Amino acid sequence: MNNLKNVKKNNVLKSRTFSNSLKLTSKKNFLTLDSNLKSKKSVVKNLYRAAYHSSNRVKEYEGYIDRNYTPNKNDLVCEYYLEPANGISFESACQRVASESSIGTWTDIGTMSHDLFNKLAPKIFSLNPKNGIFKVAYSCELFEEHNVAQIMSAIAGNIFGMSDVKNLKLLDIDFPNSFIRHYSGPMYGINGIRKIMKEKYRPFVGTSVKPKVGLTEAGHSLIAYDSWIGGCDFVNDDENLTSLKSNNFDKRISLTLRARDKAEQVTGEKKIYAPNITAPYPEMVRRAKEVMRNGGEYVLIDILTTGWSAVQAFKDLDLRVVIHGHRAMHAAFTRNPNHGISMLAIAKFCRLIGVDQLHVGGIVGRMFEGEKDVVNVGESIESQIVSKNIFRHRLQEDWLNLNPMLAVCSGGLCPAKVQPLIHAMGRDTLIMAGGGIHGHPNGTIAGAKAMRQAVDAETYGIDPHEYALTHLELKLALEKWKK
């Protein structure tokens, strides 16, 4: 018992000694820290003291306009359309957008030094209240370069909800070269896809299996097979077909890829199946690997519903699959001509992060976009150097070594609309027809033949109605779907 008391007493003494030692050490460290802080006191005062006083603060929503400014190679430039709210001038509303999308807030703040403002404040170098267009240059220091989500949160984030603006639309973006060098872009793009397909010249023909959902795995694979032997190069899942009770993903791709192999043997042509792997990210990666295990080379991802970060991370895995980008949900941003985000801006982000081919609209189909908008997007994703076009609200862009994306045209297309579509979009196009193939009077095989015949007619420079005189499938299609 006495030994136990002595042990406890010694432990208490040790504890008190340790505690006193800790207090002395802490006090010594605090004095050292305090000394260091005092030595830097003048620097801190120089940086912030003036800002603490209201009379010397940077004024909110002021100082962002500089018409003499010329964007430099490290600036990210955005073009916006803006309608100010009642009681707000156009110039003031533009400055509020520039402020909210970068370093400012709704009031002057004591933590904003003039040096910091001068270094990072965006520069509105062009603004026209007559047409509502203004251009703003952002310093690249405002962004994390390899983080599309952060960039979008700035230039297309809170600004759309500001009460100071009635309408606001992000029309275009010019990425600085320093940004582009952080991205690898499409792994395959136009040239890589043409190499896979062993087709150097003509436009491609594709279809999405219809109905979109409700078919069994076997039924899906049979329709895909009929599409291929009729003449389709590509068969895709639609945007809302993932893995359903009636159509399991793993079973579907196994059967459909076997049907693809058989179609290649029958036709002697390369055929592609792009299954929709859209899912929570870990499952999306698993599905992509399952596609590869079954001999697939393509995957389809719903870009916007999946999210920028997930698509970017998937591309960075370098699985060496071709990424077909579906734009489901885009019209929630793009359709209103005065508010939201343009399809052009969305498409440029897709090229930046590495989507190989992307739905851009149909021009002559059932989608709302006109020829000017769709051609504008097509040129911007397929060219290496994009020229400035003030009439299309398009900024200049140099894509450096990033591969061009293949434009996918879809939405209400049929053989009757092939000729004007190719005239507008050129030969580097994938023409996707769903109802325009499966709705043919003689069924899917005949519908695929008619679509391919329409493409062949344009490729050979023959009027489709003349070509239809010797091609029954095309003749029936033109009779059903008159322009």
List of domains in the chain: 56-180 (3.30.70.150), 189-480 (3.20.20.110)
Task: Please indicate whether residue 326 is annotated as part of the active site.
Answer: yes
Q: What is the pLDDT of residue 396?
A: 85
- pTM (2 decimals)? 0.86
> Can you give the pLDDT at residue 59?
75
Of 410, 461, 408, whose CA–CA distance to 190 is shortest? Answer: 408
CA 179-279-213 angle, 5° bins: 125
Q: How far apart are CA 30 and CA 50, in angstroms?
A: 28
CA distance 314 to 320: 10
The torsion angles phi and psi of 400, rounded to 5 degrees, stand at: 55, -120
pLDDT value, residue 179: 87
Q: How far is CA 167 from its chain centroid?
A: 22
Q: Residue 94 and residue 293: Cα distance in Å, rounded?
A: 52
> How far is 168 from 83, CA to CA, in rounded Å?
6
In angstroms, the CA 285 to CA 277 distance is 8
Q: Which of 114, 166, 210, 251 is catalytic?
A: 210
Q: Which of 123, 169, 271, 326 is catalytic?
A: 326
- What sign does the CA torsion over 86, 89, 92, 98 have? positive
Which pLDDT belongs to residue 53? Answer: 54
Counts of helices then strands in the chain (DSSP H, E): 21, 15
**Tokens linked to 431:** 């023409």
Q: Where are the beta strands (DSSP E) in 55-132?
A: 75-84, 123-128
- Return the H-helix or E-strand segment holding 71: none
On whether the CB atoms of residues 263 and 228 are closer than 8 A, the answer is yes
Phi, psi of 36, rounded to the nearest 5 degrees = -65, -40
β-pairing, 357-361 with 429-432?
unpaired
Residue 210 designated active-site = yes
Q: What single letter denotes the amino acid at residue 400?
A: L
Classify strands 385-386 and 397-398 as parallel, antiparallel or unpaired: antiparallel
Tokens of 467: 């070509």
pLDDT at 21: 44
Q: What is the pLDDT along the chain (483 residues), one digit of tens a residue?
A: 444 444 344 444 444 443 444 344 444 443 444 455 455 445 444 544 544 555 576 677 788 999 999 999 899 999 999 999 999 999 999 999 999 999 988 887 778 888 888 899 999 999 999 999 999 999 999 999 889 999 999 999 999 999 999 999 999 999 999 889 999 999 999 999 999 999 999 999 999 999 999 999 999 999 999 999 999 999 999 999 999 999 999 999 999 999 999 999 999 999 999 999 999 999 999 999 999 999 999 999 999 999 999 999 999 999 999 999 999 999 999 999 999 999 999 999 999 999 999 999 888 766 667 778 888 899 899 998 887 776 666 788 889 999 999 999 998 899 999 999 999 999 999 999 999 999 999 999 999 999 999 999 999 999 999 999 999 999 999 999 986
